[in-house]
Structure 1
Amino acid sequence: FQNVSFSVRTGEILGIAGLIGAGRTELVRAIAGADPISSGLVRVAGKPVHLTGPAAAIKAGVVLVPEDRKAQGVVLDQTIGENLAIGNFDHVAPNGWVFPKAVQKFAEAGISRLGVKGRPNQAISKLSGGNQQKVIIAKWISRPPKVFILDEPTRGIDVGARAAIYDVIADLARSGMAVVVVSSDLEEVLGLSHRVLVLSRGRQRGILDRSEASNVAVMELATS
């Protein structure tokens, strides 16, 4: 991707739409420090962020729920509690020592906040896709971040659980975070977003306000 420039305000949900190969995932991975940026700048709250990797982005307040949940979002052979602790050792082990009781308490708070149907000592592999996604979101909410990016947030999730994830995304924005959502489901993007950025073949084709964003308007830009 090249020449992409946009901003997201606190309390806003920005959708990123485009066809396969448009560069959506590559863009958000770069913003989250997962892939290197050859040129350009990312600012959080007006301050430039030197993205040496995901840890630098997380420290600056930028987190990413990745597209491939099972390969990149959770550690399947660990428990819910252990998954929630990963990325939050500064909370559960501030002195470098991980105590089971601290992990248990931290996990219980995350489970309760997101309504995860599971227990801290339960293997995360036993959860449904929707509940696994809630665990990933709960892990990052605990920080809390300034910018919350979700790539394909409902992929592999049944219809009943989708509504719960949509509610969680709306709550993130209402809590004052800047939210970015990437989705191949155009109805999902249009239903969630205040504005929609459209990419095509690695280029930014336009940003549409909610009032002007429609299936036709998005697809015209996505195929240009």
Structure 2
Amino acid sequence: MEDYAAKMLLKTDAALREYVTGHAQYREAAVLAALDELRRRGQPAPEEATLRPGLEVAATTQRQVEEAAEAEQQQAALAADPEAAAAAGPALYSPAAIVLFSMFSVVIGGVLMSLNLYRVGRKQAIWGLIIFSVAYAYLGSLAVAWATTIGLSPIWGVLIFNLSAALAYVLWFWPRYLGTTAFRSRSVLIPVLICMAVLWGVQKLTPYLMDNKAVREQMKDIMPKQ
């Protein structure tokens, strides 16, 4: 939109008066800027009290029409160019990334989905997603433990239950809260590094836990003999 205030700074007093006396042939915003500049120079127009109310209403209406037309043009341009729409959209973790990390951990997949919801302003939905992720992880661990008692491999049990959660993220949460939002794929480098750090920590901690377990077993064997 044109900056009429800056334009009027360069006008002479006579030119500003021309905007006021011939207001019907100029844009309302330009006439208002001329009135403001005359008042700033200590030469308020006698017609100002009569003209200003109508000019302000007309200028506001015109500005709203122009903004709506500009927004419509932008939407049409984005619709015609999907790549531009994606570039203008938020950076989100893709459904494929969410499924991949959910297979590693239901909670991590839920965290990535929560970050997506936060990026698009669906903050209220995050609590429901967190409750689902934590509850599913707990119930899934119980289900896997039971499945191993009937001969199912723990690895297959984890994969099956994690896949169900991953599908819930991308087939229910995503369509419900993100819909067809155009987005840029967000880098998964940080989640990958976090997962690697977790695996490294588990690898380092496992021998320590196993040693403690062995010590406890030895203590159980010794205690009855005392």
Computing the radius of gyration from Cα coordinates, the structure with the larger value is: 2
Higher strand share: 1
TM-score under structure 2 length normalisation? 0.23
TM-score under structure 1 length normalisation? 0.23
Work out which structure has the larger RCO, using CA pairs closer than 8 Å and 6 or more positions apart in sequence. Answer: 1
